[in-house]
Structure 1
Amino acid sequence: MTETPVTGAEPTRPATRTHCPYCSLQCGMTVSRIGRAGITTGAWDEFPVNEGALCRKGWTAGELRGHRERLTTPLVRDRATGELRSADWDEALDLVAARIRAIQDDHGRDAVAVFGGGGLTNEKAYQLGKFARVALGTSQIDYNGRWCMSSAASAGNQALGIDRGLPFPLADIEQTDLVILVGSNLAETMPPAARHLDRLRERGGKVVVIDPRLTSTAERADLFLQPVPGTDLALALGVLHLLDARGLVDEEYVAVRTTGFEEARRGAAAWWPERVERVTGVGTDELRALVDLLAGASAAMVLTARGAEQHAQGTATVLGWINVALALGLPGAPYSGYGCLTGQGNGQGGREHGQKADQLPGYRMIDDPAARAHVAGVWGVDADSLPGKGRSAYELLDALGTEDGPKALLVHGSNIVVSAPRASHVTERLDSLDLLVVCDLVMSETAAIADVVLPVTEWAEETGTMTNLEGRVILRRRAVSPPAGVRSDLEVVAGLAERLDAPIGFSTDPEEIFAELGRASAGGKADYSGITYDRIEAEAGVFWPCPAAPEGLAAHPGTPRMFADSFAHADGRARFVVPEFVGAAEEPDATYPVHLTTGRVLGQYQSGAQTRRIRSLPDEGAFVELHPMLAHRIGAHDGEPVVVRTRRGEMKAPARVVTTIRPDTVFVPFHWVGANRLTNDALDPSSRMPEFKVCAAEVTR
């Protein structure tokens, strides 16, 4: 791969412009080689998303290269001893293929499942979906991105006709008058983005943060609302009620650009401020202060994140806040609108091109005959040979090893043992499998229980595209060669497909795969057909949709901003969808009297499989954050261990006594084993998102 010299790099080793391996900002950075095996990261000042800024995770991302725990040879579990032993690649892939054949011969095609990840490149996500449906012939594929922004995706599709996290560039935040962050701790989860909030406030704009905890982001807020976990929808209904009561609805916009407002108006009519206060704990004066800010803003944005979305009512909650934005005429207006702050690095692109159980490339639905015909034509297979819709992520894991569930699972880019809700139960299901294959960089908690572990490349050792939270398709360039013995996920997929006698070949060249992805996505909602590697590099990323231009016409410019003229429904109008508040799936009671919520900390990322191994990042371990009033009631002291119990399990960790959390709530970060043993596996009926963000708990010394 071509390496681009960058000013300030080591004089003898040119740096490569690439992107951070972590969150959905996909910050631009440079990577330089040091010594025989090491790499170091530097600033790429010209990349517009982060302008050279990186968080501590980005600055230290190179430290995993050459780490003593890096996997560099395939491992196979010895059936006699139960231990993992080294194997060569042919032995490992031959074994996996033979056992897949045997399992499918005995139990059918759907007896083998695939579980992907929101950190995989678009090329890997595309090939994984193609591999599942063509080489394996299974409908059983989903990915951990189902647990990221699927509720926002479901709501966006219902209300706006399309799912793109932000329908405008992130930098537009600086130019609006008011930003409402619902369930987002932007300053800790994606720190370089927080500068947009600071610049907004320097211009005189306002920031509202809605969160059960007074976070680093909330400390930047002009107005901070601290609702009971799981009540964000009631708050949105209360806001819509007051907007209507005060005559603040943009009636012309609603009449011309939307449908369904009268039903939404009637649904919000019962949510007067006093009722909202009783349900949410947010005072009537605070609710009115929020509406006052909306009334005084000529431009405003409503942005949701996991705190609002990871609920059994996550889709309904997002719909409630989209209704607020539509009532004010925000979507499509300059520096205004609704958006979702995607979490995982490729949470957006990862689901657009085939990793989800119900989707084909281009955000086509797998049960649509026209979509099946188009994609099958690109792949060179019969449309009737493609399987139908499979199980969603948690439902897939819950079915593992059961009589009619998969007997084998191939895992790419996910540490399920740590990240799944009701994790102890999911681990039992993984243990019940006839075959568990895990592709990873290190011995994650999931790899440790696998039958076969395949060592794969890390971000700096491979080329591929990602789609960031803005819908900007960016290019990670390979900066260094992988260690001897390590292969890419693309090579794993191709090797298995060949051994399984797949009817078509599987390329391992990422640029060739991306070109095919473009053809497969052409005409779909997420149309990448006009995007090439050269365009991405020349334009610092290209926003989808970007269809290929007819011959002789200028290239499509991409779509940085959506909805200016119409929405993605057939009639061009947005939909008000009436959400009904029912609350959390599990409310506190005498046995479990407090709310438990989970989230991230600044120094770690996702399941921590990579970041916990980087020395420069603080690995404080799990902790339990609780209010002094609750600590006093149970006799707990700061730094001393407490036990948190739910109906699904328990964990023990040091107490962190703070005044920044609600007295009826405890917080546990999910980067370490433990937190997700407690979380609730109740699912959103639309998105199938588990209720990570709230359940009933007991805390004792």
Structure 2
Amino acid sequence: MNSSSATWGIGSSTGFPDPDVMLPGAEKRQESVRPHDRVVRTTCTLCPAGCGMKIMLLDGRIVDIWGDEAHPLNKGSLCALGSAAGQLVQSPGRILHPRLRERRDGACRETSWEEALDLVAGKIRTLTRQRGPGSVVIGQGGRVGFGSLLSARRLARLAGLAYADREESDPARLLSLYAAAPPPPEWVKARVILLVGADPASTEVVTMGWIVDARLRGTAVVVLDSRPTQTGAKATRVLPVRPGAWGVLLVALANAVLDTNRDDAEFLREAVVDADSWLAACGVVTPEAAAAATGVGASTIREVAAILRDAFPALVIVDHRPLGAGAERTARAALGLLSLLGSLGVPGGGLVCLGGPAPPVCSGAELQAEPTRGDSRPAALIWEPGDPVSVADGQWGAVLAQGMEFVVALTAFSDPRSCSADVVLPTGLWLEYPGVVHRGTARAFQWHSEIAPPPGEARPGAWIWAALADWLEVGQRFPWRRADGTIDYGTMSDFFLSQEPSTAGLSRALLDPEMNPPGGVLWPVDRGSPIGLEPGATIRGAWRPWDRGRGWPRQGERPIEIGLTPEDARAMLARASVTADTSLPSVVSVDRDFGGYRPTADAWPWIAGLLG
């Protein structure tokens, strides 16, 4: 592929269905047959797909949940998890009152919020005074609500507590943003989709629909994985690759593309800051060198490179969690491959990280002036694991809790997470409070509505952190907490969104699906930026963060830095070669390991014949 392919090979001229024309049956009108007196539009938060929902209520009680056919991401489809979300709210296993445990091996007793918060605040004060700053750690798991996530960070900074969040923004995700991460409706314009360690058919069922749609339009779908996957069953081609060798295979594909002299050299020189270093890195990993490390034959590598070379544009989808410690290098190799193909900043091309590029949300810019308070060994843990359906078995929290003198669990259900806690604080679920949906594969900020109040004395996480701030005498820094203790979620969300330039142009008023077109707004959105539908877009905001036809996001600067040197390539190859042990009996994987949206354990007998 070279720069002369200015038409980008999409639309009716390719012989494939026009990507802007919806295939028959793509939009599914959804109506409940159950009696209801009210319908509320909201957004599902159970996985990064960000599906629109219609929730049917009768006398304030959820009676049915359907997909929102007007929503541009799911068009009325909804997976079984989302359809059954009402069962969480109405589960008999909910914790309804705060609980205290006098001894770790003793039984819990119900108590009041006042007694529970007084005990927790007193313990925090005692430990930080006796053991020093950082002796108390706040830990949060996957899919914690936007308000709770940032309120906990804010409290930790103000009270001098340590903080651990396993859902932080990571380089692999942010790389996908600056590689012009297109939202799923744009994927149908790709002529080849390469999935690296990604199994959206298992982890994001509705998102997978867009890949199937592209496949029906003639797009080649190539899967690189170390497991047999449901996504692979829908692919044009599957390459079994050894774990840890993802990045090596991508660099080898780039080497094979270069070997044909069919790369987009003009775009590479124009857009990539470290083009020479990246080209040198590609020279290190030949298909022959990669074959031994990856288990993929050199001829197969060249065949797939030919598919990527001849089909334009290319889209690469990675999932950083199964990729493990090498996720960032793998994403950088994917970015380099796309730059060689010229498939960046064009319709249908780009790099996507499942789960989306997590936005750099901030708990308060004014807190940067707060003094840092040093470190000490944690003696207490305050743990909010996140939604029980979205998080695996809570082992991360259990590991953190080992050896702690005092443990507080914020959870909605009686489960292993709360069994050994000294204090259990009952939390509300996402259907029981409103807020921002801020992490998604589509890069969309959306809004979820309060459908029903929390049962008993359960309270949303944002309420708990703000109340604890009051007991620690820093409550004045949570001005969205009303006099009666309730939270003004609109004010809180607008404050947090305003703290980062890339989200400063967003607000609750622009996101609520009851007041706006479904789908939310795609970030980044600077303050004062116009928010509307770009040509060909179905969601408001930046359909592509940057576009080759409109220059770079920062005027006068080349936007892309691959960040892989020849030394990096040699290290990747050496590491993959060491781990290429065919004597291993199986590969056991857990999708989204600690934060699995649908945890699975797939055992694959390691048969050499499968890898040739």
TM-score band by shorter chain is 0.7 to 0.9
Q: Tell me the equivalent position of 1:471.
A: 443
Q: Deviations over 1:313-366 (max 9, x none)?
A: 2211111111101111212112111111117xxx825xx324xxxxx66xxxxx
Q: Deviations over 1:638-663 (max 9, x none)?
A: xxxxxxxxxxxxxxxxxxxxx9xx68
Residue 116 of structure 2 is aligned with which of 64, 85, 92? 92
Q: Tell me the equivalent position of 1:529.
A: 505
1:548–1:259 CA distance, 2 compared to 1 (3 A):
closer
Q: Tell me the equivalent position of 1:265.
A: 279
Q: Tell me the equivalent position of 2:166.
A: 144
Counterpart code for 1:573 = P
- Asked if residue 226 in structure 1 is aligned to residue 197 in structure 2, the reply is no
Q: Tell me the equivalent position of 1:77.
A: 101
Alpha-carbon distance between aligned partners in 2 of 1:201 and 1:251, rounded to the nearest angstrom: 29
The aligned runs of 1:445-464 (5 Å cut-off) are 445-464=416-435
Q: Deviations over 1:52-102 (max 9, x none)?
A: 111111111211222121111111111386322211111111110010010
* Structure 1 unaligned residues grouped into runs of 5+: 1-5, 355-359, 362-374, 391-403, 612-620, 631-658, 665-701
Q: Tell me the equivalent position of 1:327.
A: 340
The aligned runs of 1:150-549 (5 Å cut-off) are 150-153=170-173, 156=175, 167-306=181-320, 309=323, 311-342=324-355, 348-349=358-359, 352-354=360-362, 375-376=365-366, 383-387=368-372, 404-414=376-386, 423=395, 427=398, 429-467=400-438, 468-502=440-474, 504-506=476-478, 507=480, 508-521=487-500, 523=501, 526-537=502-513, 538-540=516-518, 541-549=520-528
Q: Tell me the equivalent position of 1:577.
A: 563
Q: Tell me the equivalent position of 2:155.
A: 131
Give the Å deviation of 1:420. 9.2
Q: Deviations over 1:263-288 (max 9, x none)?
A: 11111212221211111111122211
Counterpart code for 1:144 = R
Give the Å deviation of 1:439. 0.8
Q: Contact 1:515 / 1:532 at 8 angstroms: preserved in 2?
A: yes
Counterpart code for 1:558 = G
1:80–1:54 CA distance, 2 compared to 1 (3 A):
closer
1:663–1:558 CA distance, 2 compared to 1 (3 A):
closer
Alpha-carbon distance between aligned partners in 1 of 2:157 and 2:595, rounded to the nearest angstrom: 28
Q: Contact 2:227 / 2:604 at 8 angstroms: preserved in 1?
A: no
Aligned to 2:284, what secondary structure does the other structure show?
Answer: coil
Alpha-carbon distance between aligned partners in 2 of 1:504 and 1:514, rounded to the nearest angstrom: 17
Give the Å deviation of 1:469. 1.6
Q: Contact 2:263 / 2:309 at 8 angstroms: preserved in 1?
A: no
1:436–1:473 CA distance, 2 compared to 1 (3 A):
same
1:513–1:319 CA distance, 2 compared to 1 (3 A):
same
Q: Tell me the equivalent position of 1:28.
A: 52
1:163–1:456 CA distance, 2 compared to 1 (3 A):
farther
The aligned runs of 1:613-692 (5 Å cut-off) are 625-627=603-605
Counterpart code for 1:142 = A
Alpha-carbon distance between aligned partners in 2 of 1:384 and 1:585, rounded to the nearest angstrom: 47
Q: Contact 1:179 / 1:206 at 8 angstroms: preserved in 2?
A: yes
Alpha-carbon distance between aligned partners in 2 of 1:52 and 1:203, rounded to the nearest angstrom: 21
1:389–1:272 CA distance, 2 compared to 1 (3 A):
farther
Q: Contact 2:142 / 2:387 at 8 angstroms: preserved in 1?
A: no
Aligned to 1:76, what secondary structure does the other structure show?
Answer: strand
Counterpart code for 1:353 = V
Q: Contact 2:240 / 2:295 at 8 angstroms: preserved in 1?
A: yes
Give the Å deviation of 1:542. 0.8
Counterpart code for 1:517 = F
Aligned to 2:328, what secondary structure does the other structure show?
Answer: helix
Q: Deviations over 1:564-591 (max 9, x none)?
A: 121569824311211430426984779x
Q: Contact 1:28 / 1:52 at 8 angstroms: preserved in 2?
A: yes
Q: Contact 2:42 / 2:449 at 8 angstroms: preserved in 1?
A: yes
Alpha-carbon distance between aligned partners in 2 of 1:103 and 1:307, rounded to the nearest angstrom: 35
Counterpart code for 1:548 = R
Alpha-carbon distance between aligned partners in 1 of 2:394 and 2:151, rounded to the nearest angstrom: 30
Aligned to 2:413, what secondary structure does the other structure show?
Answer: coil
Q: Contact 1:548 / 1:555 at 8 angstroms: preserved in 2?
A: no
Residue 51 of structure 1 is aligned with which of 75, 78, 94? 75
- Asked if residue 561 in structure 1 is aligned to residue 544 in structure 2, the reply is yes
* Length, aligned pairs only: 556
Q: Contact 2:101 / 2:423 at 8 angstroms: preserved in 1?
A: yes
The alignment's TM-score, normalised by the length of structure 2, stands at 0.83
Identity %: 21
Aligned to 1:465, what secondary structure does the other structure show?
Answer: strand
The alignment's TM-score, normalised by the length of structure 1, stands at 0.73
Counterpart code for 1:453 = V
Residue 41 of structure 2 is aligned with which of 2, 14, 17? 17
Alpha-carbon distance between aligned partners in 2 of 1:466 and 1:72, rounded to the nearest angstrom: 25
1:629–1:325 CA distance, 2 compared to 1 (3 A):
closer
Counterpart code for 1:243 = V
Q: Deviations over 1:237-287 (max 9, x none)?
A: 101111111112211111111121211111121222121111111112221
Q: Contact 1:567 / 1:574 at 8 angstroms: preserved in 2?
A: no
Q: Contact 1:230 / 1:308 at 8 angstroms: preserved in 2?
A: no
Q: Deviations over 1:596-650 (max 9, x none)?
A: 441239xx99468xx8xxxxxxxxx9866243969xxxxxxxxxxxxxxxxxxxx
Q: RMSD over aligned Cα, in angstroms?
A: 3.4
Alpha-carbon distance between aligned partners in 2 of 1:195 and 1:47, rounded to the nearest angstrom: 14
1:226–1:41 CA distance, 2 compared to 1 (3 A):
same
1:212–1:307 CA distance, 2 compared to 1 (3 A):
farther
Give the Å deviation of 1:480. 1.1
Q: Contact 1:464 / 1:476 at 8 angstroms: preserved in 2?
A: yes
Alpha-carbon distance between aligned partners in 1 of 2:131 and 2:554, rounded to the nearest angstrom: 41
Q: Tell me the equivalent position of 2:14.
A: none
Q: Contact 2:446 / 2:512 at 8 angstroms: preserved in 1?
A: yes
Q: Deviations over 1:506-559 (max 9, x none)?
A: 2221111011113222x3xx3233333344431320111212328xx8889631
1:205–1:153 CA distance, 2 compared to 1 (3 A):
closer
Q: Contact 1:185 / 1:216 at 8 angstroms: preserved in 2?
A: yes
Alpha-carbon distance between aligned partners in 1 of 2:431 and 2:387, rounded to the nearest angstrom: 20
Q: Contact 1:473 / 1:536 at 8 angstroms: preserved in 2?
A: no
Counterpart code for 1:514 = S
* Structure 2 unaligned residues grouped into runs of 5+: 1-29, 481-486, 534-539
Q: Contact 1:75 / 1:87 at 8 angstroms: preserved in 2?
A: yes
Alpha-carbon distance between aligned partners in 2 of 1:389 and 1:217, rounded to the nearest angstrom: 47
Alpha-carbon distance between aligned partners in 1 of 2:75 and 2:432, rounded to the nearest angstrom: 24
Alpha-carbon distance between aligned partners in 2 of 1:415 and 1:73, rounded to the nearest angstrom: 18
